[in-house]
Amino acid sequence: MKIYIDPFTYEDPNEAVREFAKEIDVSFVKIEEVIGAEGAETPQKIEKDEEPNCMLAVSGEFGEVYKGRLKLPGKREIYVAIKTLKAGYSEKQRRDFLSEASIMGQFDHPNIIRLEGVVTKSRPVMIITEFMENGALDSFLRQNDGQFTVIQLVGMLRGIAAGMKYLSEMNYVHRDLAARNILVNSNLVCKVSDFGLSRYLQDDTSDPTYTSSL
C-alpha cells in the first residue's frame, strides 16, 4: 500500500508538486464566482475583484477561493473549486501554498477531497479541486438544522470516519479535523479537506509530535 511522503522532505519543494500534482493549462480553467478566502478563518475585508465575471472577494492570507469550470481535452466540463495565490507572494508563501497540492495529490479515496491539478506556469498560481455543492459541514448543518434523518447523519459520519481511516493507513495525520474542514456534495457525501496545516506545523521543531506523518 502507498504511504504518504511529506513534501517538505524534498530538497526542492517544486519537485514534490511535479510528482504529485498534474499541471493544468490555464486556458482550460474558467473562474466564475468567489466562494471564500484561502487561509482565513474569518472574513477580513471585502474587496472588489478586477475580473468582471467574479463577485466580491473576501481577502484571505493566501488569496481567494472561487467556483469555476474545468474542461480538459477529451473530457466533459466539470465544476471545480479554485484556490488562488495572491500577487506579490514570496517564494516561501508559494511553497507553503503548493504544499497542500503535493499532499492532496497523494490521496485517492471517495471521502477525501480530490485534487484535479495545479496552475503554476501562469498567474495567479492555482490549486484546483473537485467542487462540493453544499460547502463546509458546519455551516451546512446550521442552515439545515433538524432536516436530516438519522440514517443521513450516520451516513455522513461513516464517510468522515472512512476518510480519516484511509489517512491513518497512509500514515498521514490531519491535525485539524473539524466540521469546517469537511466538505459536503449534493449527495450528502462528506469529504475531508484542508491539508495545509502541516506547512505551519513543520516549522515548529520544539515539539516532535508536530509532524504530518507517523
What are the residue ranges spanned by the domains of the chain?
7-192
Secondary structure class of 75 (helix, strand, coil): coil
Question: Residue-wise pLDDT tens for the chain (214 aa)?
Answer: 789 999 999 988 899 999 999 999 999 999 999 987 665 443 333 333 433 333 323 345 678 999 999 999 999 999 999 999 998 999 989 999 999 999 999 999 999 999 999 999 999 999 999 999 999 999 999 999 999 999 999 999 999 999 999 999 999 999 999 999 999 999 999 999 999 755 444 444 444 333 344 3
Alpha carbon of 7 to those of 21, 107, 205: distances in Å? 11, 13, 17
Q: Where are the beta strands (DSSP E) in the chain?
A: 29-38, 46-47, 57-58, 63-70, 78-84, 115-119, 126-130, 182-184, 190-192
Residue 66 CB neighbours (<10 A): 28
> Do 124 and 116 form a contact (C-beta atoms < 8 A)?
no
> Do 137 and 184 form a contact (C-beta atoms < 8 A)?
yes
Q: Which of 25, 49, 108, 176 is catalytic?
A: 176
Of residues 58, 67, 65, the one with CA closest to residue 33: 67
* 176 given a catalytic annotation: yes
Residue type at 130?
E
Of residues 2, 5, 12, 16, the one with CA closest to residue 212: 5
pTM (predicted TM-score): 0.82
CATH topology of domain 7-192: Phosphorylase Kinase; domain 1 (3.30.200)
